[in-house]
Amino acid sequence: MRRSRLVGIILVAALVAAIGAAVAYYVVSRKTADVHNGLSAPFSFTSDSALPSSSTTTSGTTPKGPDYGPPWPFYGYSLSRTRDASALRSIRPPYRVAWSQPGGGLLEYPASYAKGVLYEAADSGYISARNIFTGKLIWHHKLKVVLASPALGKGLLYVPSYDGRLYALSMKTGKPVWSHYLGGMLEGSPAVWHGRVFEGTLSGTMRAFNARNGRQLWSANASGAVKQGPAVVSGRVYFGDYGGTMWCLSAISGHVIWRTHTAGLASGFSSGTFYSTPAVAYGRVYIGNTDDKVYSFVASTGQIAWTTTLPDWAYGSPAVSSGRVFATSFDGTFAALSAHTGEMLWHHTLPNRTLASPVVVGPYVYVADRGPAGNTRGQLFAFNPGTGHQVWSFHDGKYSTVSAGAGRLIVAGFSHLYVLVPHH
């Protein structure tokens, strides 16, 4: 009898333990419902920052020729990183290829542009400057691994490297003017604002430097690695980190204005990681996360206005234009969301998986897939941003999408740089 009772107790205890484990697993791993505060949280249809102007880059290599058009000085086009160049209405398909050249390695990030010159950084560390009209190489320089678009300032371009240094190169010659060791490896495209350069580190800091001489102005600790460039709007620096925290700092002092942790919003008590570069518009901050969610924060307070869950990692950086947020998911989903509420307006499944960041140029939004395998090229697509209708495709793409300059579309393919001219 005692043995039977003991066996019964053991069985009951095992059952209770199994139920407890199942409940714990459910609590920890369950998907958390999305936040829906978009209608009540502050939102403004006015733009948060001006588009790049020709004064952004005042002294680089300037070949004589046709109208150079506005610069594309930063990853994401402007310091707000909205990737919104919808004002460039003349750049639209159909296109013809004006020229293409090998990029010196895998092209994970799009080219920057100013005054007739393209500046591209390959993952191999090969930095090049080319005439946008002819493709002629003006100069090149070799660093260690570079995972960023060059940021352009007054006569200098700023490039982070896996050797732990932030470099300032001459726009005319490509020769280093200064470098500063930040420690460890660096990723993410710098931002240049009012004589300051901002760059995050994988060791978990955001730092500001004097753009002219590289002197460090301040350093702020994050809760995890900072792997993408910040947005800088109205004297505030916005970025996310690998600890799942969204940050807003003073661009002048580095002091924390607000920080919002996303623990528990992915599943259970955990949080995803922010690899995406934030986009600031309408008084909101929009950013993707590896917890599959796209987030909208109130730019002034850090309140979460809404989240929208996609089928897989929201790894790419969102584009924001005309009241819409364009985001990608690793499974190949390309979606348009309401910037106000996060409601999904339309979505497509690309032929292959994607890590790309959408870009709006002229009347269309562009996005690439990564192809059928890691060592193959993908495709580039253009969609109508209002309807989601596909209007054009190109035979080369991968991680990057596009930038623009001098009335031309600049495509960073798998390993080749292309300049396409509208052919109307």
Q: Tell me, what's the pLDDT at 347?
A: 97
Average pLDDT in the 348-358 region? 96
The residue extents of the domains of the chain are 72-422
Looking at residue 416, its pLDDT comes to: 96
Residues 174, 129 contacting (CB under 8 angstroms):
yes
Residues 149-199: pLDDT tens digits? 999 999 999 999 999 999 999 999 999 999 999 987 899 999 999 999 999
DSSP string, 164-194: SEEEEEETTT--EEEEEE-SS---S--EEET
Rounded CA-CA distance 365/347 in Å is 13
| pLDDT > 70? residue 223 | yes
Predicted pLDDT at 393: 97
Tokens of 367: 């996005």
Residue, of 201 and 51, whose pLDDT is higher? 201
Task: Give tens-digit pLDDT for 392-406.
Answer: 999 999 987 899 999
Give the pair of three-digit tokens for residue 68: 């150079």
DSSP state of 356: -
Residue 268 is predicted with a pLDDT of 56
% pLDDT > 90, the chain: 82
Residue 330 CA: distances (Å) to CA of 81, 268, 327, 357, 369: 21, 22, 10, 11, 9
230 neighbors 240 (Cβ within 8 angstroms) = no
pLDDT in tens, 15-39: 544 444 443 334 444 567 899 999 9
pLDDT band at 240 (very low <50, low <70, confident <90, very high): very high
Phi, psi at 174, each rounded to 5°: 80, 0
Single out the residue of 420, 395, 365 nearest to residue 82, CA to CA. 365
pTM of the predicted protein model: 0.90
Check residue 374 and give its pLDDT: 79
179 vs 214: CA distance, rounded Å: 7
Q: Which CATH superfamily is domain 72-422 in?
A: YVTN repeat-like/Quinoprotein amine dehydrogenase (2.130.10.10)
